[in-house]
Amino acid sequence: MELHFEELLAKITEFIKTEAKTETVVGEQFKLGEFTCVPVIKVGMGFGSGGAEGAGAKKGKGQGMGAGAGMGIEPIGFLVTKGDEISFLEAVKSHGLAAAFEKVPDLIEHLAENRRKEREAELV
């Protein structure tokens, strides 16, 4: 089996170029009464890959390759026009309990940092 890492990377790069363009991020406009609305979305993409080959004294020669990719699309709001006026309306805004849960990772990090500092102070 021959590894074609550069070929795989080129194909994935081309895919990302075709998917991450303005038409993907801003949806089709629509009319709502006298308002014209254009949905705006956020696109996120990630890619990882790796490959290796080698020879061992007991197991012979081997090679392998792997790759993975992911893509997420999230609505963030609408551009709304009426005549010459343009405004942006957010689609989702966290309130109450949802906003509190969004802060939990930062709170845990802050607590861990305080404990680390306390332990360092005890050692001194």
How many other C-beta atoms are found inside a 10 Å radius of the C-beta of residue 37? 18
Phi/psi for 107 (5° steps) reads -65, -45
Render pLDDT for 51-105 as a digit per residue (tens, 0 to 9): 888 888 787 788 887 878 787 877 788 888 888 888 888 877 666 555 666 666 7
Domain ranges of the chain: 5-92, 94-124
User: CA angle 58-63-66, nearest 5°?
Assistant: 140
Q: How confident is the model at residue 22 (pLDDT cuts 50, 70, 90)?
A: low
DSSP 3-state percent helix, strand, coil across the chain (nearest 5):
40, 45, 20
Q: What is the pLDDT of residue 60?
A: 79
pTM for the structure as a whole: 0.45
Q: What is the pLDDT of residue 93?
A: 67
Q: What is the pLDDT of residue 54?
A: 85
